[in-house]
Amino acid sequence: MPNKFPVLQIHGNLNRTGVGIFDLMSGIGAHEVIVETPEHFLSLATMPLKAVEDVLWTYYLRLMDLKKDGRFKYVMIFKNEGEVAGASLEHTHSQLIALPVIPKLVREEIESASKYYEFKERCIFCDLISQELGDSRRIIYQNDSYVALAPYASRSPFETWILPKAHEPHFYPPKEKFTGLAEILQTVLKQMDRILDVPPYNFLIHTSILHDGMNEYYHWHLELLPKLTKIAGFEWGSGFYINPTAPEEAARFMREAKI
Amino acid sequence: MPNKFPVLQIHGNLNRTGVGIFDLMSGIGAHEVIVETPEHFLSLATMPLKAVEDVLWTYYLRLMDLKKDGRFKYVMIFKNEGEVAGASLEHTHSQLIALPVIPKLVREEIESASKYYEFKERCIFCDLISQELGDSRRIIYQNDSYVALAPYASRSPFETWILPKAHEPHFYPPKEKFTGLAEILQTVLKQMDRILDVPPYNFLIHTSILHDGMNEYYHWHLELLPKLTKIAGFEWGSGFYINPTAPEEAARFMREAKI
């Protein structure tokens, strides 16, 4: 555990914002902004590695704290970097949104993983990691505990997933340490900054729902999408994504980046 | 039927574009670009009304032609206007993409409508139109055959739906005329240009799957979304949208626009 967090937290509540899902839920929720460093010109790619580790600790500790409120079913932890990716503040920051419902897309992923487990009696993400490490063409980077890869059906160029190699349903510090996760995350962000000239991006932690225990079917991971293509009519209407860059190519560029 | 189309058609095929859904489907499909006018500086909002009608006829006739190819299950008809909304050509144009599968989002909407029909024995869109016309707060514009409204759970500010008042599963010219549809579409686009200073936008025709006959549960409509907000981490991860503008407000602004 770190001794000190060089991280500010701004708390707030989700208000009714026009008409939307929150309208149906009496406005219960929490929205927190995590300011990742006091230095205005640093980013997760350029700050000291220890500071990235502290940001991950802050995600975890805030998640554990929000979990105490039984009204919350899911906490989204995400980052929008750059105006094009939807960042409304310039100073580097991440966000948490605690929700009283399980979002549709989260539910779909969890249900799919659960069906696969019923069918195969294995975690789909553990199978994916093992297959990708065997094939190696889509592997971007790995350290002892984590692997970064370009998913086979990448939705956009340079889509990158970071997964713990061990089966871990919830976002969690193994052996009380986030060192390995900080190292792989910063490495991938440095590679991306190098190859794509500091692109805007979104990342999102996909973790189990809050009170789902040590389930065997879900495996937390981080999905990172540089914002290089636009969501237009076709994507809006179909849910399909047009991706002009093969993930094998993207992974090779990332691996060969001089950082 | 119009005598003459002042409309060019560019045909092409969907190639394998990296890895994606098309990879799994042997690359069968069609992609067409409909150039709406030879005049570079006109838009659907500013061209003669008759030209808008011709564009709608072109959508319909291309749809009927593509329907003859039994491999296609669905045709998406959509328009991206403005670079921010994903338009890669500046000259005003629409697109058709014929697909050998029913897209996930289309299937979900059709299945929901079908479930509602099983439960209520009424079309959900007919019910919606009747309720909204009764309430009137979210009505933007109407003529004899069509209504334009701001949906109750609008995903983004000024989201606008245009629906035929009569039950019509497929995109279709009533009494062999698209005059009414051209008139309401152009009116709404003029209102939007006035209120939002010629915004980028996407629109998409939601119609039945190709070989589904005169079904009772689905009702074609056009969904128009000006691109005013950004899809960021929260929306990517949850499928929920944050909309700061109440649809009642948006509808009032649109109604009161001096066009």
**Would you state the pLDDT for residue A26?**
56
Which one of B14, B19, B24 makes the best mutation probe of the A interface by having the most chain A beta carbons within 10 Å? Answer: B19
Q: Mean pLDDT of residues grouped by 10 in chain B (259 residues)?
A: 34 33 60 94 96 97 95 94 87 94 91 94 96 97 97 94 96 92 98 96 95 90 93 86 92 96
Give mean pLDDT, residues A113-117. 95
Check CB contact under 8 Å for A233 and B76.
yes
Percent of chain A clearing pLDDT 70 (strictly above): 90
Q: Per-residue confidence at A166, pLDDT binned at 50, 70, 90?
A: very high
Which positions of B are annotated as active-site residues?
A: 93
Residue with tokens 């998913």: A151
What is residue B192's predicted lDDT score, i.e. its pLDDT?
97
pLDDT at A240 over 90: no
DSSP letter string over A222-259? EEEEE--S---HHHHHHS-----S-HHHHHHHHHH---
Q: What is the mean pLDDT of the segment spanning A110-133?
A: 95
Residue A219 annotated to the active site: no
Kindly report the pTM of this predicted structure: 0.83
CATH class, B8-256 region: alpha beta
Chain A hits for B241, CB-CB cut-off 8 Å, are 20
Chain B positions touching A239 (Cβ under 8 A) are 103-105
Q: What is the mean pLDDT of chain A?
A: 88
Q: From the candidates A31, A40, A91, A93, give the one annotated as an active-site residue.
A: A93
Distance from CA of B204 to the nearest CA of A (A): 6
Q: Looking at beta carbons, which residues of chain B come within 8 Å of A200?
A: none
pLDDT at A189: 98
C-beta atoms surrounding B12 within 10 Å: 10
Give the pLDDT mean for A72-93: 91
ipTM (interface predicted TM): 0.76
H/E stretch holding B132: helix B124-135
* pLDDT at res. B17: 33
Domain spans of chain B?
Answer: 8-256
Asked if A104's CB is within 8 angstroms of B239's CB, the reply is yes
Torsion angle (degrees, nearest 10) of CA A54, A57, A62, A68: -160
Residues of A within 8 A of B242 (CB-CB) are 17, 20
Band of the pLDDT at A4, cuts 50, 70, 90? Answer: very low
pLDDT the model gives residue B26: 56
CB-CB contact of B246 with A19 (8 Å) = yes
Q: What is the total residue count of chain B?
A: 259
- What pLDDT is recorded for position A49? 97
